Amino acid sequence: TDLHPYEALMHIHEPGASLEDVKSLFEDIKTWLPKLLSDAITAQDVAGPIKDPQGPFPIQKQEALGREMMNVWKFDFDGGRLDVSAHPCCIGVPEDVRLTTRYSLNDFGEGLLGVIHETGHGKYEQNRPRDLLDQPVSLARSMGIHESQSLFAEMQIGRSAAFQKFLLPKAIATFGDQEAFEINNFTRYVQKVEAGPIRVDADEVSYPLHVILRFEIEFALIDGTLTVEEIPAKWNELMKCYLGLDMSGNHRQGVLQDIHWPSGAVGYFPTYTLGAIYAAQFMEAVNKELGEAEVKRLIETGDLGPILDWQKRNIWENASIYETPELVQKVTGDRKSV
Q: Which of 160, 202, 199 is nearest to 183 (CA)?
A: 160
pLDDT tens series, the chain, 338 aa? 689 999 999 999 999 899 999 999 999 999 999 999 999 999 999 999 999 999 999 999 999 999 999 999 999 999 999 999 988 999 999 999 999 999 999 999 999 999 999 999 999 999 999 999 999 999 999 999 999 999 999 999 999 999 999 999 999 999 999 999 999 999 999 999 999 999 988 999 999 999 999 999 999 999 999 999 999 999 999 999 999 999 888 898 989 999 899 999 999 999 999 999 999 999 999 999 999 999 999 999 999 999 999 999 999 999 999 999 899 999 998 765 44
- Given this model, what pLDDT does residue 2 score? 83
* 3-state DSSP assignment of residue 158: helix
The residue from 63, 118, 154, 218 that is catalytic is: 118
- Given this model, what pLDDT does residue 338 score? 46
Q: d(Cα 130, Cα 138) in Å, to the nearest integer? A: 8
* Catalytic residue flag (residue 118): yes
Find residue 104's DSSP bridge partners.
107
* 3-state DSSP assignment of residue 132: helix
pTM: 0.92
- Given this model, what pLDDT does residue 335 score? 62
Residue type, 110: E
CA–CA distances in Å: residue 218 to residues 70, 211, 233? 34, 11, 14
* 3-state DSSP assignment of residue 327: helix
Q: d(Cα 242, Cα 32) in Å, to the nearest integer? A: 11
